[in-house]
């Protein structure tokens, strides 16, 4: 019997998530790849580990038992990694991280510069992920650290094994085409009805849900005119006079725009946070980079 790290991770994630597709997206593979890995693991185990049930798949008893062992192996791996970093006596080695698009553009460069100065032996590798995916990436061990977003006014449950460190607190403002509203003081969402249409992210994203929730609390249902995922695209549409949206400073830094930005009466915030596994919180490399992020945030 011979296994790979990927196979063990796939099995453990399958227990958590229940579908091959979900495992694949959590681990950053295609479903086909995960299916093949699990197939290989099953062949080398000699015992069925999965059972098709309806259009999905379920772990057999043997699969569950093996997943338990796999989890223990991954735990040892985590402990070994932490111990290696401690024993190095200095910050060195590699750290995998994930960031949402805007953070890659606006935070990563300064962070890398600072890490390069203070911890020259640490190599930080990063990948850009859709913001709602970075939590899973951390939880499943694909990355050690992520920069993500929280909407404290519309909180959602996170995996309890995750720890979140506040970096920046940003207040949302209303972005409206230049001159389209006759005043420039604080605006209530309740007064954003027609003819102003909304440019919104899909409701199945945390951001999309948060905007809608805040609007509903203010007593309006935002009229979806254009569903847009990309932040810069949203801003371009507002600038073009197509509709209204919400913005933060970081979003404006990414794409300086010519439209009116009005404070909101309603409280609507987002937090830019660092996300780590609780078990990795005290790893020197992880702690060091989190510290760099906090330092940058303080400036």
Minimum Å gap between C-beta 129 and its own copies is 18
Q: Total number of residues binding its own copies (CB under 8 A)?
A: 31
> Is 66 one of the binding residues for its own copies (CB under 8 A)?
yes
Q: What is the CA radius of gyration of the chain?
A: 22
Q: What is the pattern of x (binds its own copies, CB under 8 A) and - over residues 94-123?
A: x--------------------------x--
> Is 233 one of the binding residues for its own copies (CB under 8 A)?
no
- Taking CB under 7 A as the criterion, the residue among 1, 43, 54, 183 binding DNA is 54
Q: Total number of residues binding DNA (CB under 7 A)?
A: 25
CB of 219 within 8 A of CB of 191?
Answer: no
> Is 88 one of the binding residues for its own copies (CB under 8 A)?
yes
- Taking CB under 8 A as the criterion, the residue among 30, 51, 65, 161 binding its own copies is 65
Nearest alpha carbon to residue 222 among 242, 239, 199: 199
> Is 133 one of the binding residues for DNA (CB under 7 A)?
no
> Is 239 one of the binding residues for its own copies (CB under 8 A)?
no
Nearest alpha carbon to residue 97 among 232, 299, 277: 277
Q: What is the pattern of x (binds DNA, CB under 7 A) and - over residues 67-96?
A: ------------------------------
CB of 172 within 8 A of CB of 269?
Answer: yes
Cα 243 to chain centroid, rounded: 27
Residues 6+ apart with CB under 8 A from 239: 177, 257, 258, 259
> Is 51 one of the binding residues for its own copies (CB under 8 A)?
no
Q: What are phi and psi of 39, to 5 degrees?
A: -60, -45
Q: Which two tokens stand for residue 53?
A: 């049930």
Provide the angle, in degrees to the nearest 10, between the axes of the packed helices 284-298 and 61-88. Answer: 70
Residue 38 vs 189, nearer CB to its own copies: 38
> Is 48 one of the binding residues for DNA (CB under 7 A)?
no
Residues 6+ apart with CB under 8 A from 4: 37
Q: In whole angstroms, what is the distance from residue 20 CA to residue 13 CA?
A: 9
Residues 6+ apart with CB under 8 A from 155: none
Task: Name the DSSP class of 151.
Answer: -
Residue 66 vs 167, nearer CB to DNA: 66
- Taking CB under 7 A as the criterion, the residue among 47, 56, 61, 83 binding DNA is 56
Burial class (CB in 10 A: 0-12, 13-18, 19+), 105: middle
> Is 55 one of the binding residues for DNA (CB under 7 A)?
yes
Residue 85 vs 136, nearer CB to its own copies: 85
> Is 12 one of the binding residues for DNA (CB under 7 A)?
no
Residue 85 binding: pick among its own copies, DNA, none (C-beta 5-8 Å cut-off by kind) = its own copies
Minimum Å gap between C-beta 112 and its own copies is 17
Q: In whole angstroms, what is the distance from residue 39 CA to residue 48 CA?
A: 9
Provide the angle, in degrees to the nearest 10, between the axes of the packed helices 61-88 and 5-17. Answer: 120
Question: What does the binding site for DNA look like in residue numbers (CB under 7 A)?
Answer: 4, 6, 18-22, 28-33, 35-40, 50, 52, 54-57
For its own copies, the binding residues (CB under 8 A) are 1-5, 44-47, 61-62, 65-66, 69-70, 72-73, 76-77, 79-81, 83-85, 87-88, 92-94, 121
């Amino acid at each position: 019997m011979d296994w790979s790290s990927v196979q063990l991770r796939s099995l453990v994630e399958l227990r958590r998530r229940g579908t091959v597709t979900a495992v694949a997206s959590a681990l950053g593979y295609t479903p086909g790849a995960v299916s093949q890995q699990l197939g290989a693991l099953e062949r080398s185990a000699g015992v069925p580990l999965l059972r098709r049930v309806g259009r999905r798949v379920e772990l057999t008893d043997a699969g569950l038992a093996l997943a338990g062992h796999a989890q223990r192996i991954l735990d040892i791996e985590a402990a070994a990694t932490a111990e290696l970093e401690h024993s190095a006596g200095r910050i060195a080695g590699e750290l995998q991280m994930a960031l949402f698009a805007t953070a890659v553009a606006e935070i990563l460069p300064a962070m890398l510069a600072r890490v390069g100065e203070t911890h020259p032996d640490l190599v930080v590798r990063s990948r850009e992920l859709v913001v709602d995916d970075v939590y899973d990436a951390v939880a499943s061990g694909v990355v050690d650290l992520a920069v993500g977003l929280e909407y404290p006014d519309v909180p959602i449950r996170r995996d309890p094994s995750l720890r979140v460190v506040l970096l920046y607190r940003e207040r949302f403002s209303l972005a409206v085409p230049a001159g389209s509203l006759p005043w420039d003081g604080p605006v209530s969402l309740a007064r954003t009805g027609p003819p102003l249409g909304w440019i919104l992210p899909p409701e199945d994203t945390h951001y999309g849900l948060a905007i809608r929730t805040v609007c509903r609390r203010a007593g309006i249902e935002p009229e979806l005119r254009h569903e847009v995922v990309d932040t810069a695209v949203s801003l371009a549409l507002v600038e073009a006079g197509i509709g209204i949206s919400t913005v933060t400073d970081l979003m404006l830094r990414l794409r300086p725009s010519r439209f009116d930005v009005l404070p909101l009466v309603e409280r609507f915030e987002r937090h830019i946070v660092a996300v780590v596994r609780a078990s990795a919180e005290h790893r020197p490399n992880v702690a060091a980079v989190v510290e760099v992020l906090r330092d940058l945030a303080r400036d």
